[in-house]
Amino acid sequence: MSRSGVALSNECQSVFQELKLGKSLKFIIFKLNDAKTEIVVDQKSTSSSYDDFIGELPENDCRYAVYDFEYELGAEGKRSKICFYIWSPDTAPVRSKMLYASSKDAIRRALTGISSEIQGTDFSEVAYESVFDKVSKGAGSH
């Protein structure tokens, strides 16, 4: 249980397994339900365009997201890393930012196999280049 008492819905686990094992999904966006008691799946997508993913992040509200990040290493071939995003823009309401920050453990610790965690407070921090920099630096990324 997270500090805020928010729990993770069962759907989140199964959709994440679809992305991780089934490789059928490209990204999942999670949000808190209206009663602020549970983390639920906001949307899932198979679109391979990173811009589509960025476009789905709301400008004035927070979200959690999981993105199956793929990148080329020239001759060494393709790499794929699952990234966890906590999207908390400066312009979001303070209450929302507090709630998402304090509930992060409920989802982050329940998902296994995440290689990087991305904190985003504006669009420059979740841009393809900055995420690429981060994931390609870690151990085993080459």
Partner 1 sequence: MSITRESIWAALPSTIKGTPLHLSYDPRTNRLVYPSNKAVILRSLSDPSSSTQFTGHTASTSVAKFAPSGYYIASGDVTGNVKVFDSSSTTEDPEIVKGTFPIISGRINDLTWDSDSKRIIAVGDGKERFGHCFTFDTGNSVGEITGHASQINAADIRSVRPFRAATAADDAAVVWLAGPPFKFVKAIRGEHTSFVTDLRFSLDGAYVVSVGMDRRIVIYDGKEGDVLARVDGAHDGGILSVASGKSEDGACRFATASTDGSVKLWEFKDSAVSEVFKWKVADDHLSGVVFTSTTTVTAVSLPGDIYTLSESSATPSETLYGHQKSITAVSVTSDLKSIYTASYDGRVVQWNAATGEAKLVSGSGHSGLITNIVETGGKFYTSAWDDTIKSFSAEEFTSSSLSTPAQPKSLTAAGEYLILATETAVYTYDLSMKQVASWSSSSITAVSANSSVAAVGSQSGAITLLSVPDLKPLPTAIAPLRAAVSTVSLCPLTDSDGRLLLAAGDTTGKIAVINVTDGSVVTTRWAFHTARVTSISWRADGKYVATGSLDTNVFVYSVDKPAKNVKTLGAHKDGVNAVAWVGEGKIVSVGADACVKLWNVAL
> Which runs of consecutive H residues, i.e. helices, occur in the chain?
10-17, 50-56, 94-108, 128-137
* Residue 14 per-residue DSSP state: H
Provide the 10 A C-beta neighbour count for residue 95. Answer: 9
* Residue 54 per-residue DSSP state: H
Rounded to whole angstroms, how far apart are CA atoms 66 and 11? 14
- Candidates 18, 56, 105, 125; binder of partner 1 (CB under 8 A) is 105
The reply on whether position 24 binds partner 1 by CB under 8 A is no
| Residues sharing a CB contact under 8 Å with residue 9, sequence separation 6 or more, in sequence order | 33, 38, 39, 40, 41
Q: How far is the CB of 67 from partner 1 (least distance, A)?
A: 19
The reply on whether position 127 binds partner 1 by CB under 8 A is no
The reply on whether position 2 binds partner 1 by CB under 8 A is yes
Q: What is the CA radius of gyration of the chain?
A: 15
The reply on whether position 33 binds partner 1 by CB under 8 A is no
* Selected range binding partner 1 among 76-84, 106-114, 116-124, 130-138, rule: CB under 8 A: 106-114
The reply on whether position 18 binds partner 1 by CB under 8 A is no
* Selected range binding partner 1 among 6-14, 45-53, 61-69, 119-127, rule: CB under 8 A: 6-14
The reply on whether position 66 binds partner 1 by CB under 8 A is no
Point out which residues bind partner 1 (CB under 8 A).
Answer: 1-2, 7-8, 10, 13-14, 17, 105-107, 109-112
